[in-house]
A and B are shown apart, each in its own frame.
Chain A
């Protein structure tokens, strides 16, 4: 490799139409955030009024009326939430301490999809530039991607929404 000049190289692209990773199941995430703790489910369905209040408080849309929460004996909460971006779908767990502060956030599932054209070999070929010799292969199950486009704004918004939900619908008086 030349130290002193820019050199054109062949581009060997591998495409993936769906990049998906599961980090935790619900049970595993519960154990990770609250090791050894027992918790009881307290799923809550938000009323229209509560949903409006949450949207107003957090400035984030409420997409689902159901809140998947589990309560621990000391008042801590474990909540499973999901956020959807243009190309990403993320399920995550958030542990709240008894005072409503965030204890830990763990991503459970991350899925991204950029569309069907990826599978089209002719479509893929337009991106190889001038030096690729062979058509692009299609492979899935890839990790270690550099240059992620994801901003975690969606998760940050999700956490804001969950905290507002805690305040308005979940915390004990």
Chain B
């Protein structure tokens, strides 16, 4: 158990707060551990506020309310996420696409009214000075990448303090620096069963999965994974973990691995990332990351 007294005793501190629709756990060890953890949570809260689909005044909500032809000013954090998303959309041949909110709304995964016309590509163009212009219809959802970015933002904030090591875990998307961390993933068919993946050092790990697939199930219930090409909600049917230098990349690549495993090999190589997939066949892996080794 941690001791949150103000006298620095160099014991590791570990706290958890609800953000981003999940539990975010932050730990740190060092003279300024408490300050670092507070800064980490502040960074997470900031990303939460900017990218929430539900909050009226988030950048995502403002973008989704805008009409074609309108230009909005957004926060630098949002610019970074959109820039990466557009870039990965191209590189993944449309496998990764944030303009899929309408599919999720149609399936009741997100609140809102159905609209007649959906985007095929992301309907946004980034302009200099943290501005974005809407050039077509379609709502965005950054759920596939915002958690990872929040983790990165928290880690960046924590580095400014005198801490030897830190770990941020946002509902299973995690990143650490300093002390190497043993990491586990839930078995997709038995969530109480944990699989030891290996040890993470100065790197990020993100996992996407649906935990409804049990051996007895014949059909997979639709879960919030959207295939942007077919514009349908699909079941995960497996657990996909990606280790990369940043959590935003890891988070986003889990979707590409799931939707196009063959193409993902090129992207795993390009991002120096490693993927681990677990399903009823067992465990398979591709790629390599210098931040990860098997235990």
Which residues of A are in contact with B by a Cβ distance under 8 Å?
1-17, 19, 21-25, 28, 31-32, 35, 87, 92, 104-107, 110, 112-115, 118, 124, 126-132, 136, 142, 144-153, 155-156, 159
- Nearest-neighbour CB distance to chain A for B196, whole angstroms, equals 5
Q: What's the Cα separation between A106 and B4 when bound, in Å? A: 12
Q: Is the CB of B207 within 8 A of A105?
A: no
Neighbouring A residues of B248 by C-beta, 8 Å = none
Chain A residue numbers with a CB within 8 Å of B277 are 6
Are A146 and B207 closer than 8 Å at their CB atoms? yes
Q: In the docked arrangement, what's the CA distance between A155 and B261, Å?
A: 36
Q: Encode B82-116 as 1/0 by CB contact (under 8 A) with A.
A: 00000000000000000000000000000000000
Q: Give the contact stretch, choosing among B55-63, B123-131, B280-288.
A: B280-288
Distance from B139 Cβ to chain A, minimum over Cβ atoms (Å): 21
From A129, which residue of chain B is reached at the shortest CB distance? B282
Cα of A155 to Cα of B277 in the assembled complex, Å: 30
Q: A4-B265, A16-B192, A147-B172 are in contact. List 11 more A-B contacts (CB 8 A).
A: A6-B285, A7-B285, A7-B286, A14-B195, A92-B18, A105-B18, A132-B282, A142-B194, A144-B167, A152-B21, A152-B171
B4 touches A13 (CB 8 A): no
A15-B194, A148-B172 known; A28 vs B286 contact (CB < 8 Å): no
Q: Mark B147-182, 1 if CB is under 8 A from A, else 0.
A: 000000000000000000001010111100000011
Q: Given the known A-B contacts A7-B285, A23-B16, are A127 and B174 also in contact in the complex, defined by CB atoms under 8 Å?
A: no
| Nearest B-chain residue to A158, judged by Cβ | B18
| Interface-centre pick from B3, B207, B286 (highest chain A CB count, 10 A) | B286
The smallest C-beta distance from A9 to any residue of chain B, in angstroms, reads 5
What is the distance, in angstroms, from A31's C-beta to the closest C-beta of chain B? 6
Report B4-18 CB contacts with A as 1/0, cut-off 8 Å: 111000000011111
- A3 B268 Cβ-Cβ under 8 A: yes
Closest to B17 in A: A105
Q: Which of B1, B191, B197 contacts A114 (CB 8 A)?
A: B191
A118 close to B192 (CB less than 8 A): yes
A-B contact pairs, 30 of them (CB 8 A): A3-B287, A6-B265, A6-B284, A7-B284, A7-B286, A8-B283, A9-B284, A14-B196, A21-B14, A23-B1, A24-B2, A31-B4, A32-B15, A92-B18, A107-B16, A113-B192, A114-B193, A118-B193, A127-B189, A130-B282, A131-B282, A142-B194, A145-B169, A145-B172, A146-B185, A147-B207, A149-B186, A149-B211, A150-B22, A152-B18
Interface: B269 (CB within 8 A): yes
In contact, A129 and B286 (Cβ under 8 angstroms): no
Q: Are B18 and A17 within 8 A (Cβ)?
A: no
Output the least CB separation between B27 and chain A (Å): 9
Alpha-carbon separation in the docked complex, A169 to B200 (Å): 48
| Closest A residue by C-beta to B41 | A104
A146 in contact with B197 given A3-B268, A114-B192, A126-B215 (CB within 8 Å): yes
Give bound CA distance, A148 to B215, whole Å.
20
Say yes or no: B23 contacts A146, CB within 8 Å. no
Determine if A124 and B193 form an interchain contact, defined as CB atoms under 8 angstroms apart.
Answer: yes
Q: Contacts A1-B287, A4-B265, A15-B193 known; A110 to B23 CB distance under 8 Å?
A: yes
The list of the 6 closest CB pairs from A to B, nearest first, reads A129-B282, A114-B192, A147-B207, A148-B172, A107-B16, A152-B18
Given contacts A24-B4, A126-B215, contact A147 B284 (CB under 8 A): no
Give min CB distance, B175 to chain A, whole Å: 11
| B239-294 at interface with A (beta carbon < 8 Å) | 239, 241, 261, 265, 268-269, 274, 277-288, 294
A146–B283 CB distance below 8 A: no
CB distance from A112 to the nearest CB of B (A): 8
Binary interface encoding of chain B residues 21-41 relative to chain A, with 1 for a CB under 8 A from any of its CBs, else 0: 111000000000000000000
Give Cα A130 to B282, complex, Å: 6
Residue of A nearest to B199 (CB): A144
Is B187's beta carbon under 8 Å from chain A?
A: yes
Distance between Cα atoms of A159 and B17 in the complex (Å): 12
Q: Which of B241, B274, B280 contacts A1 (CB 8 A)?
A: B274
Chain A residues lying within 8 Å of B211, measured Cβ to Cβ, are 149
Q: State whether B192 touches A147 (Cβ < 8 A).
A: no
In the complex, what distance in Å separates the CA atom of A128 from the CA atom of B208? 19
For B182, the chain A residues whose CB sits under 8 A away are 144
CB of B75 within 8 Å of the partner chain: no
